[in-house]
Structure 1
Amino acid sequence: MTSYVSHTTVDCIDAYALSRWWQAVLDYREDPDDPNEPGHEECMIFSADGGHRLLFIEVPDGKRGKNRLHLDLRPVTGTRDEELARLTGLGATVVADRRNANGTGWVVLADPEGNEFCILRGEAELARPVP
């Protein structure tokens, strides 16, 4: 017997607002038969192919300490730095810059509620040799 990951759950203060923010970051969708609305305590979003789901659940306490689990995002098109500019424009904050002079590394960001995630090099950047 085995299990599979049904969805990834994010505890938050405002499920609707955070689900909308992540929807913009990931270009995810909501279920048209069960749309997310302001005031909903649980809001789910799906990848375009339905293969990954994020569920945002409201909890009474705010985030404390470092995440024990986080998402690593890789730009499909464009570069890590272009994606970094886009995400900070959406309201993400830089927590730690782990980029290296040779182009490797990542940037640790936080969403509007302080949940950390990382931006890795883009697909095209991976194809280039590291100096």
Structure 2
Amino acid sequence: MTPLHWKLVIDSRDAATLADFWAAALGYAVEDPSPLVARLLAAGHVGQDAVTEHHGRQVFRGFAAVRHPDDPFDEVSGIGKGRRLLFQNVPEPKNGKNRLHLDLHAEPGGLDTLVGRLEELGATRLREVDQGPAGHWWVMADPEGNEFCAAG
């Protein structure tokens, strides 16, 4: 069997803002779909109501994605072909605990630095977990309350 390509899709209230947070948190690039948006608008395939502007670029309303900067991407659409997170707006707010989350790993001895940087970006500490030799990490929440872990 050929390995499958995948992306992790995360429901959000403000896809573009959450993509900005995660791009900064992970050191990823926010995808730039503006050339594709321009083509689709010019050809009449999408209407102006399907797009919006974010950081001076035309983007699809309610969608934003981030990709690993070293992975390949389509130069026309800006869509990553490797490690990628896609954020999509949904009408309902987050309710309850995530069933899936990201674990961010600090450099050895760098957990405090990582947690501090994530807080500066808008994350919140929820609780500390210290299991001695088995591990030490913080359960945190992104700006929309999605849980993730920062581990040392």
**TM-score (normalised: structure 2):** 0.70
Amino acid at match of 1:29: A
Give the SS at the match of 1:82. Answer: helix
Counterpart among 49, 55, 61 of residue 40 in structure 1: 61
Q: Assess, with a 3 A threshold, how the Cα gap between structure 1 residues 40 and 75 changes in structure 2: closer, same or farther.
A: farther
Structure 2 unaligned blocks of 5 or more: 35-51, 55-59, 72-81
| Structure 1 runs, 4 residues or longer, greater than 4 Å off | 100-103
Does the 8 Å contact 1:16/1:37 carry over to 2? no
| Larger strand percent | 2
**Does residue 116 of the first structure (1) align with residue 132 of the second (2)?**
no
Q: Assess, with a 3 A threshold, how the Cα gap between structure 1 residues 74 and 12 changes in structure 2: closer, same or farther.
A: same
Structure 1 unaligned blocks of 5 or more: 122-131
Shift of 1:95: 1.1
Matches within 5 A, 1:1-131: 1=1, 4-32=4-32, 34-35=33-34, 37-38=53-54, 40-50=61-71, 51-76=82-107, 79-100=110-131, 104-121=135-152
Give the SS at the match of 2:136. Answer: coil
Give the SS at the match of 1:106. Answer: strand
Shift of 1:99: 2.9
Aligned residues: 120
What do residues 21-73 of structure 1 show as CA deviations (whole Å, max 9, x unaligned)? 111111111334x1594372111110112231000000000100000000000
Higher mean displacement: 39-48 or 97-106: 97-106
Q: Assess, with a 3 A threshold, how the Cα gap between structure 1 residues 41 and 99 changes in structure 2: closer, same or farther.
A: same
What do residues 71-113 of structure 1 show as CA deviations (whole Å, max 9, x unaligned)? 0001247601110111111111111110356693110000000
Larger radius of gyration: 2
Give the SS at the match of 2:21. Answer: helix
Q: Whole-Å Cα distance in 2 between the matches of residues 57 and 72 of structure 1?
A: 21
Does the 8 Å contact 2:19/2:66 carry over to 1? yes
Give the SS at the match of 2:9. Answer: strand
